[in-house]
Structure 1
C-alpha cells in the first residue's frame, strides 16, 4: 500500500479538572487516550462512537485546534506537533475542517464573500478581484448561486450554511479535510444531499477525508475504512465491508445491532448494553469497556488489551482474540 498521508501515533489529549477555592488540578479527563491510525491519500476514514467517546477531540487535536498532550501526528512526512505557529499556519492550507454546527462556525456579522475570501487572504492567494471570482466559483461548485456571496449567514437554511462551510474548507485546495459530524445537525432529507455532494467533491478534487460521525449508516455510505472509538480509545479498525460483515469487538457488535434495517421482515437481534458509559475522568481499569461487556472475563478487569492486527488489516483491542490465539 502507498505511504499514508496522515499517521497518528499514540495520540493523547487530557483536559485538567480543577476544583476548590484555588482551582487546583483535582483530576483529568482522558478525552483521547493513546489512539493510533493512518489515513491514506484519496481515502475516506470514518470514525464512529457514541457521544463523549473522544472522536471530535481527536479530529481537532490532529489539526492542533486543541494542542495534543502526547503523541505524534505525521502529515505528509512532517510531525505537526513540533511545528511553530507560523509553520502550522502554512500547513493549515493542506489541512482543513468542516464543523458540526454550520451556524456557530460562520461569523454572523460578515458577508459570505468575506467569510470565504478570508482563507485566501490569510494564505496570500490572488488579488482582490481573483479572490472575488474564486468565491463565486466555489459557491457554484457546492451548489449555491455565485451572487449569494453578498448575503449574510442568517439568510441561508441549515443545509445551505453547511454548503458554505464545505466551500470554506475547499477554497484553499486542501489535501485532507476533517469532517466533524458535518450532517448531524441537518434534516435527514438534507443529510443525503450533503453526503452526495461531499462524495462528488472527494472524487473531483482527489480529497482525503477523516469523517467523524455517530451514525453508522452515514459512515457506511461514505467511508472506505471505519474506526470505532469507545471512551477515548480505538477499539476496532477495518474496511467498511469487513466491519459490517464480521465485527469482532463486542462494542462494535452492539452498535451495529442498533442500526435500523429498512426491511421489516428481517428480524434483528438487539444487543442491549448494561449500565451507563463510565466517566472519561475516571475510566475503568483494564479494558475500558469491561463494565458493560457481555463477554467480560477476569483479565479484562485488570489488563488493558493491545490494539493489534487480528487478520489482514483488521485491528481490534480485545482479550477475546488474544485468548483464542494462545489456545
Structure 2
C-alpha cells in the first residue's frame, strides 16, 4: 500500500461537565481518548463498538463538525486540524458523510433535486443545467427513477431516503465517505440492499470508506479492516476476516460471542461480561476494560496498555500479548 489517504493520530475529544451558576468545568467526559488509525485509498475501515464508545464522535471530528480537543487529522497530505475555515471548506468537498437517520438528515422543505444539488451549489460546481442533469444521473446510480427529483423526503420510505442521502454524498465526487451507522435505522431486508449499493458504488467510483456501526455482522460484510472501540479507545485493529475468525482482545471476543448464529443446534459458548460500562467522565485507571475483563491481571489495573502489533499486522491494546 502507498501513503494513507487519512491518518488520525492520538485524537481526543473531552466535553466539559459544567456546574454552578457560572458554568465552571467540574470535570470532563472523555468521549474519545487517544484514537489512532489510517485509511488507505480504496479500502473500507470499519469502526465498531457499543453505543457511547465514541465512534460517531470520531467520524464527526474528522470532518471538524466537532472540534478535537487534541490530536492530528491528516487528509491527502494536509493537516485538517490546523486548516483555516476557507481551506477547510475546500477540502470538505473530498470528504462527505452519510448520516444515521435518513429522515432527520434531509431538509423536509426541499425537494430531492434541491437536496442533492445543494453540495454542488456550495462548492460552485457546474452551471444550472449541468447540475440538474447530474442530479438525475445520481438518482439513477443509487437505484431511484429520475422523476423522483421533484418529490419531498416525506414521500419516500426509509431505504429510499438513505439512497437520497448517498446520492447527495456522491454529488461532489468525494475521495472519502464517512458512513455513520448508515443502515441501523433501516429494516433488515433493506439493509442488505443499501450495503450492496455502497459496495457497487465503491467499485464504480473508487471510493474510500470509514464505516461506523455497532452491528458486527454488517461491518464484517462491508469492511476490509475493523477497529474495535471501547470507552473512547481502539482496543483491537485487524483485517476483517482475521478479527472475526480469531479475535484476540477479550472485549472483541465478548462482542463476537454475542452475535446470533442462524443455527438452532449451535452450541456456541457466550462470553458474559460482568458489571456495567464505566462512565467516560471517570474511566478506570490502567486498562479501561479491566473491571469487566475475565482475564484481568494486577498489571491491567495500574498500567494502560498501548495499541501495538501482535501478529500479521494486527494491533491490540492488551497486556496478555505484550
Indicate the TM-score class for this superposition, using the shorter chain for normalisation.
over 0.9
Deviation, structure 1 residue 21: 1.8
Name the SS of the counterpart of 1:31 in structure 2.
strand
Aligned to 1:101: 101
Q: For 1:82 and 1:22, locate their aligned partners in 2 and report how far apart those are by CA, in whole Å.
A: 31
TM-score by length of 1: 0.97
RMSD across aligned positions (CA): 0.7
Aligned to 1:325: none
Name the SS of the counterpart of 1:14 in structure 2.
strand
Aligned to 1:174: 174
Write the deviation string for residues 94-124 of structure 1: whole angstroms up to 9, x where unpaired: 0000000011111111111111111001111
Deviation, structure 1 residue 266: 2.1
Mapping of residues 6-45 of structure 1, within 5 Å = 6-45=6-45
Write the deviation string for residues 200-255 of structure 1: whole angstroms up to 9, x where unpaired: 00010000000000000000000000000000000000001110111110000000
Mapping of residues 150-161 of structure 1, within 5 Å = 150-161=150-161
Mapping of residues 92-131 of structure 1, within 5 Å = 92-131=92-131
Aligned to 1:47: 47
Write the deviation string for residues 269-290 of structure 1: whole angstroms up to 9, x where unpaired: 0001011100111111110001
1:147 aligns with 2:147: yes
Number of corresponding residues:
322
Deviation, structure 1 residue 319: 0.7
TM-score by length of 2: 0.99
User: What are the ranges of 5 or more consecutive residues in structure 1 without an aligned counterpart?
Assistant: 323-327
Runs of 4+ residues deviating >4 angstroms: none
Aligned to 1:241: 241
Deviation, structure 1 residue 264: 2.3
Write the deviation string for residues 99-151 of structure 1: whole angstroms up to 9, x where unpaired: 00011111111111111111001111111111111011101100111111111
Aligned to 2:287: 287
Q: For 1:16 and 1:312, locate their aligned partners in 2 and report how far apart those are by CA, in whole Å.
A: 39
Write the deviation string for residues 136-194 of structure 1: whole angstroms up to 9, x where unpaired: 11011001111111111111111100000101101110000000000000000110100
Name the SS of the counterpart of 1:210 in structure 2.
strand
Q: For 2:42 and 2:255, locate their aligned partners in 1 and report how far apart those are by CA, in whole Å.
A: 27
Aligned to 1:193: 193
User: What are the ranges of 5 or more consecutive residues in structure 2 without an aligned counterpart?
Assistant: none
